[in-house]
Amino acid sequence: MNRQPHVAVVGATGAVGIEMIRTLEKRNFPASKLTLLASARSVGKRLKFRGQDVEVKELKKDSFKGIDLALFSAGGSISREYAPLAAKDGCVVVDNSSAFRMDEAVPLVVPEINGADVKRHRGIIANPNCTTAITLMALYPLHQAFNCLRIFASSYQAVSGTGAKAILELERQVDQIVKGQAVTREVYPHQIAFNVLPHVDSFLPTGYTKEEMKMENEGRKIMHHPGFRASVTCVRVPVYRAHSVAVSAEFQKPVTVEAALAALKKAPGLDVIDDPAKCEYPLPLYQAEKYNCAVGRIRKDCAMDNGLCFWVAGDQLLKGAALNAVQIAEELLK
């Protein structure tokens, strides 16, 4: 990889694309040039990078000639079509969609956990599901210390996980309710304002959703832990930004709260916020726009042997998407 790579962002005008551009700038990523790619309808839009206006160009099959690194966040079908073309042109792709995550030939990486896996890439590296990434930031240090067997978890997922249109839907519905107007919906099958939907992604024949199974499938791959099991209920909540997850984890080794806190306090990319007496615990409102995830409410699980309960929250546009992608790019340069 060129030490000062020419970088492209694919899906540059979407919620995650915009965060990718901001994150590259904030972290002083040594990009020699930035190319912004999107669908035809976004062509000509201008986005700021390092004080300059960068014009969005149309994504085409030959867009990647001369580009060293491409961060993709334009959905699975775009990734499936264009990522292999980019790789063929010698560009390394960091893909934010689910298209390649479970592909044996593609590393699935959270740099704080399995950063060394980037070395195995053949042109494409996958970014994990946002809820999985945020959960593993707290679970993996505990797994290292006590060997996690399985988890039971419920997620509290912000609407921005669905995209920019969902943020507008929540804003609009709150406004409609306050004004006593009829609530309209386009993005979700039910009203999301003042409601929660136990439905994230599409349902599988088992009754779980695809999102719920990502925790187990992707968790196994990222933690190099093929026996890991996860039973998850994913819930969409009327929060704009940052996902939270309530986790009950069972370990092979005996676990204490003190030992768990010691492991978590040493973990990179994770803040411990855990003082219930002062009402201090991670909140999505305060994790929004922060790079680190936060963990709290750490206690022994009273329904499982060698069990711990904890609550973890993180900005899913950042650690769940854009930040993690840029961190992978930083690993590539090491």
Catalytic residue ranges:
130, 243
- Find the radius of gyration of the CA atoms of the chain: 20
Two tokens at 205? 């024949």
Q: How many CB atoms lie within 10 A of CB 185?
A: 13
| Pairing mode of beta strands 69-72, 6-10 | parallel
**Rounded Cα distance, 84 and 196, in Å:** 38
How far is 229 from 89, CA to CA, in rounded Å? 38
Q: How far apart are CA 270 and CA 233, in angstroms?
A: 23
Question: Greatest CA span in the chain, whole angstroms?
Answer: 59
Q: Which residues pair with 151 in a beta bridge?
A: 230, 249
Backbone angles phi and psi of 68, in degrees to 5: -90, -35
Identity of residue 324: N
Token output for 40: 């035809």
Which residue in the block uniquely carries the two structure tokens 């963990």?
295
* Phi–psi pair at 249, nearest 5 degrees: -120, 140
Secondary structure (3-state) at 80: helix
**Angle formed by the axes of helices 130-146 and 257-265, nearest 10°:** 120
Amino acid sitting at position 284: P
Enumerate the H helices of 92-200 as residue ranges.
111-114, 130-146, 164-178
Instruction: With beta carbons less than 8 A apart as the criterion, state whether 157 and 175 touch.
Output: no
